[in-house]
Chain A
Amino acid sequence: MSSTAKPVLIENVSLAGQVKTNLLIVDGEIAEAQGSPIDAPADAIRIDATGLIALPGLVDLHTHLREPGREDAETIESGSRSAARGGFTAIHAMANTTPVADSAGVVEQVWSRGREVGLVDVYPVGAVTVGLGGTQLSEMGAMAMSRARVRVFSDDGKCVSDPVIMRRALEYVKTFGGVIAQHSQDPRLTEGAQMHEGIVSAELGLTGWPAVAEESIIARDVLLTEHVGSRLHVCHVSTAGSVDIIRWAKARGINVTAEVMPHHLLLTDESVRGYDARFKVNPPLRTQADVDAVRAGLADGTIDIIATDHAPHPDEDKDCEWGAAAMGMIGLETALGIVQKAMVDTGLMNWSQVALRMSHLPAVIGGVAEAHGLNLDKGEAANITLVDPSAPWLVDPAKTASRSNNSPFGGIELPGRAVTTFLRGTPTYLDERFEGLFA
Chain B
Amino acid sequence: MTIPTGNTRAGSAQGTRPEDNEDRTATMLPSAEPVQLIDADGTHRHSEKYPLPDGDALKAAFEGLVSGRRINDQANALVRQGRLAVYPSSHGQEACQIAAAAVLADGDWLFPTYRDTVAVVHRGVDPLQVLTLLKGDWHAGYDPYEHNVAPQATPLATQLLHAVGVAHAAKLRGENTVVMAMCGDGATSEGDFHEALNFAAVFHVPVVFFVQNNEYAISVPLKNQSVAPSLAHKAIGYGMPGERVDGNDAAALLAVLGAAVERAREGGGPALVEAHTYRMQAHTNADDATRYRSEEDVAQWVPRDPLARLRTYLTGLGVLDDAAEEEMAASAETIASRIRDGLNTDTVPEPMDLFNFVYDSRTPQLAEQAALLQDELSRAQD
Co-assembled chains A and B = no
